A and B are shown apart, each in its own frame.
Chain A
Amino acid sequence: MGTTPPPTVTSLLRAWSDGDETALKQLVPLVEAELRRLARGYMRRERQGHTLQATALVNEVFLRLTDAGGIRWQDRAHFLGIASRLMRRVLVDYARSRGYRKRGGEAQRVTLDDTLLVTPEPAVDVMALDRALDVFARIDARKSRVVELRFFGGLSVEETAEVLHVSVDTIKRDWRVAKLWLLRELKGEHAHLRATAPDDA
């Protein structure tokens, strides 16, 4: 009685990119563990004055997880696109699990600035951002994708342009507009036609 070898990360990635959502379930813990491990190294290097681009982190995760030689991505852009999407899933799942762990299972939003110090940027509720991106995707799919690639994937403007096959200027414009839309959405300042009125019972 032989055992089936576990599916490789590469095959899982490919299955997922082909639309197999169950592959993601197996993929996420692998990626998260690797991310953790790398993050430790990341911190050490930070202290030594090295800077580490998040892109490098993404790349590194995938290079470690996938047998570099064996993977046949259509092109580099395809890989970055898939990687960014997976990073989004991993990071959002992480934030969500963290939120539920905090206080006896009671949901609590995790923001990225729950700290003594001020953050260099306004708080980002990762889960809310994730939801907002889904909404935005229905209005402007490309811009939503730009944010996924830039923020979750950590891609540069140039890499993002490469993935989406548009110009660098377009990405810059998209990025700028998308941030405004998301900021507003996250604050709940909808200018939608459907307003709500208070209880008038």
Chain B
Amino acid sequence: MTPERWPDVERILLVALTRDADEREAFVAEVCANDAALRREVESLLRQESEAAGFLSAPAAAVIGSAMNNGTFIGRHVGPYTIQEQLGAGGMGQVYRARDTKLNRDVAIKILPPVYTRDTERLARFEREARMLAALNHPHIGAIYGLEHADDTPALVLELIEGPTLAERLTNGPLPITEALGIAIQIAEALEAAHARGIVHRDLKPANIKITAAGTAKLIDFGLAKGLGAGGIDERSAAVIGGTRSGMSRPGALLGTAAYMSPEQAKGEPVDARTDLFSLGAVLYEMVTGRPAFAGAESTVTRESIVHGTPSSPRQVNPRLPRTLDRIICRLLMKDRDMRYQAASEVAVELKRLKHEIEARKSTKDNLSNRRRHATAGAALILAIGIAAWMWPRPMTTQAPAGGDYTQVTHLADSATSPSLSPDGRLMTFIRGESTFEGLGQIYLKALPDGEPVQLTDDSLKKMSPIFSPDGSQIAYTTVGDNFAWDTWVVPARGGKPRLWFANASGLSWIDERQVLFSEITTGVHMKVVAADDQRRRVRSIYAPEPERAMAHRSYSSPDGKWVLIVEMDQAAWQPCRLVPLDGQSTGRKVGPDGQCTSAAWSPDGSWMYFSSNSTGSFHIWRQRFPDGKPEQITAGPDEEEGIALAPDGRSLLTSIGTRHSSIWLRDPRGEREISREGYAFVPGFPDSGISQPFSPDGRSLVYLVRQGAVRFAGPGERAGELWITDLVTARSESVVPGVRVIGYEISRDGKQVVFAALDEHGTSHIWLAPLDRRFPPRQLAALEADSPHFGADGDILCRGTDRGSNFIYRLKNDRPPEKAVARAILFFLGVSPDGTWLIARVPDPGKSLHQTTLAFSTLGGPVPVCETCEVDWTPNAKSLIVRLTSAGERTSSRTFVIPLRPGHTLPLLPADGIRSEADLAGLPISLALDGFVYPGDTPSLYAFVRRTVVRNIYRVPLS
């Protein structure tokens, strides 16, 4: 909301505030009938009203003043306690460490601020409460030893618990599952004990759980707790704990921390033991996923989301979680408390059972067999739904020599990649970050098998390929700077300041104690592999890839120092790995499976070469006997494996196993919600295909593609998915043409048909037309190889087809042969204006080589420049143009603009040269500007977007 709108907002707000609460909504709706933004603004302010009374009610000085009274009590005696040092302070009191001179132990003493003790009656009640809480004697509850007086000020004597709070622990990311379960079990037991005495905590959150050095969890700050009715402590006295008269009349909703608050608390309803169970669910959720259940990446926690919103299930966030845990957490987080577990003891039992199962499994069976089963089941399902030639290719089954079970080595909710082992195999370094190539992330060190990962770097450089020095004391890694500077840094394995070792040196590895292999850029981007000593003297060239834009990124010398395995890229993509002699006398030959190879390794005895390759469509680990064996696949399944670190004994390897998730989300005035239900759901777009609009023209449905498993860098099938449609009103989802590999689509303006491009068994795409009600089977429109289909005027179909190596826009009319709609060759076909008059395409910019420009072609006149490389589309109702500007090809830095159109027009008045930058939008009537790559609907508050997550963890794969 711009400051100019503020007077309107305030005016409406002030009137609304004079109305009764139940009339306000109607009033605001009426006044803001035509202005959704204004309405949203006013309503969001009105929602705060329930909290306004207490907010800022005491002046800052009164609240802070006593906290500023630092050190007053140090050295003083309170009962048998000698106050030693201050541990913390806040507006509500100061906490000191004190020595219990009788029992010779340290305690914590909390001195209450006078504002809570002014009223003698209130104080008396408070003391009674404190004594009741003191009766709670449990190993997992921070004890209240008693109440003393320092001068006349009451002071609570508490168990001193050294160690971080769970909240502090969680700043380092999620906990390993078994540790999280251990904590949750202890807290469940603590709750069980408290509930048995009729005490509900009411403010269970990570900041109220302390973890001792021994790993014991202790629930603290029962201060918010209120007695349950039966215990003789009624609502009224609970309010006394609240310490304020207004607290008595106000519902319990205001007590407790929003993010972990139960729906009943958020709504101000009475609480009971099950309230704590909800909060326990929220805490457990955060422990295993690393993120709060009710805080999205961009929206702050609100009670609204607790009452109405559903968080992603824990497994969606961290697919490695056991299903049982997912179920337990979801049950704890039920909005309706009758649907939750009814007692803490039940939860404790379930959690313990699960923990035992996991621990038992850890040492015995597990991974590979399960993974194979999934793959087979997937294939069977595909057969059942497949239609002849359009079938999804059956996953390739290869004899996998890996024996036994995988062991999970890292347990992150985000990603661990690029594992590398110390020479003795006892330490592992890895990058915590998404990319298996060069990407943002930090270098970590982990002692195997169970050490806590330690972060070694803390900077914003992109990183790649960490590796131990031969003596294990240093870790070298590659950084990639903004100006395409590829440098090698080293950081002590014990921790310390990273330092730049060699500039213009990347993918470094050791040949022996004194010699290294690395890549150097000679000219432009041409990157070749060289060998040198560790002072970078005696540099000699080992291998330079042929084309000048090619880059040899990684190299690994054989244990006997005679050969090098090389990972390289041509201009655009990874190539198969290459084996070259270390004497640099030849360019060697390609080795490993015929696919893209992103990492390689040698067995310690040099008899095997290992590769991660996507020759079957997704990345798996392969090996080949040196020098001329046949490549054999070691890992398989729906996940992908990249990065290889061989154990010194050659009997296992570490690799990063990952899954990518992608889902379709809708944001509307109620908040964000996930629309797609399963699989990898996405909306096709550049550069894989033209633009597809996820909204149906009536705005009622979202249309998107879903693919099972997560495939990346793969062949033509990579951009394909099954076409799905979700009705936003009924929330019903269905596959439109089951089993068909669709790469692009559009719904007709009457909402009755869908035109789509689908891949045949050779990976060639053709255009098909199908009725949405599925009364007829889809029919192929032409033999032409084509994609990017769009509806034109008069039921024509327009698409991008190829002719002698160039792309053109073709018109498919009835059953006539395809004809070129525009004579000029294009690069991409973005779409057709809703009235069929403009064809939007991206063409090579004749003025500048390698540049592109986007033009609108029309039968009405010459092409009109639209922009350089924006994406153009229309809102479902065709009343606005959508322009997405993307800088440097990264969708992350996209912005989406909505430009309302004059009646009867389908394009706004564009600048003469089109929109070259955001500045060119200044003259246009922008109604909405959104950060990110989103799909706006018909109203400003509605848009769809794709949310992608990558989860990768490092596993140990045994080798036979």
Q: Which residues of A contact B (CB under 8 A)?
A: 32, 35-36, 38-40, 42-44, 46-47, 49, 51-52, 54-55, 57-58, 87-88, 91, 94-95, 98, 102-103, 110-122, 124, 126, 138-140, 147, 150-154, 173, 176-177, 179-184, 187-189, 191-201
Contact = CB atoms under 8 A, between A and B. Distances in A.
A52 B54 CA distance: 19
A120 B932 contact: no
Contacts of B377: none
B64 A197 contact: no
Contacts of B49: 180
B45 A115 contact: no
B932 A200 contact: yes
Interface of B: 1-3, 6, 10, 13-14, 17, 37, 40-41, 44-49, 51-52, 54-70, 72, 88-93, 110, 112-118, 151-153, 156, 158, 168, 203, 221-224, 241-244, 246-247, 254-255, 297-302, 665, 667, 890-892, 894, 896, 928-934, 940, 943, 945-948
Contacts of B158: 116
Contact of A122 (B156, B243, B254, B298): B254
Contacts of B151: 44, 47
A179 B90 contact: no
The interface centre, meaning the residue of A35, A115, A121, A191 with most chain B CB atoms within 10 A of its CB, is A115
23 contacts: A36-B68, A40-B69, A42-B69, A46-B115, A51-B118, A55-B59, A111-B91, A116-B93, A118-B223, A118-B241, A119-B91, A121-B54, A150-B59, A177-B45, A179-B52, A180-B49, A181-B45, A184-B44, A193-B928, A194-B930, A197-B930, A200-B945, A201-B892
Contacts of B948: 199-201
B306 to A, nearest CB: 13
Ordered nearest first, which 7 A-B pairs have the shortest CB separation? A197-B932, A115-B92, A46-B114, A188-B300, A112-B91, A154-B59, A54-B59
Contacts of B933: 197, 200
Contacts of B41: 191
Contacts, number: 251
A183 B223 contact: no
Contact of A113 (B88, B91, B302): B91
Given A112-B63, A121-B55, A193-B928, A47 B90 contact: no
Contacts of A52: 62
Contacts of A199: 297, 892, 932, 947-948
B56 A150 contact: yes
Contacts of B934: 197, 200
Contacts of A111: 90-91
Given A35-B65, A194-B930, A154 B60 contact: yes
Contacts of B244: 120
Contacts of A184: 44-45, 47-48
B932 A196 contact: yes
Contact of A189 (B62, B156, B302, B947): B302
Contacts of B152: 47
Nearest to A111: B90
B118 A201 contact: no
Contact of B69 (A43, A116, A181): A43
A196 B92 CA distance: 36
Contacts of B113: 43
Given A47-B114, A173-B14, A193-B37, 13 more contacts: A36-B68, A46-B115, A87-B60, A114-B88, A117-B241, A120-B57, A122-B55, A152-B61, A154-B62, A187-B302, A194-B931, A196-B931, A200-B892
Given A113-B91, A154-B62, A176-B52, A120 B931 contact: no
Contact of A147 (B56, B66, B892): B56
A121 B65 contact: no
B56 A121 contact: yes
Contacts of A57: 61-62, 65
Nearest to A36: B68
Contact of B116 (A39, A117, A189, A193): A117
A119 B52 contact: no
Contacts of B116: 117
Interface centre among A119, A138, A139 (most CB of B within 10 A): A119
A146 to B, nearest CB: 11
A180 B51 CA distance: 8
A199 B661 CA distance: 13
A152 B60 contact: yes
Most A Cβ at <10 Å: residue of B54, B62, B65: B65
B223 A200 contact: no
Contacts of B940: 193
Contact of A35 (B61, B156, B224, B928): B61
Contacts of A150: 56, 59
B64 A112 contact: yes
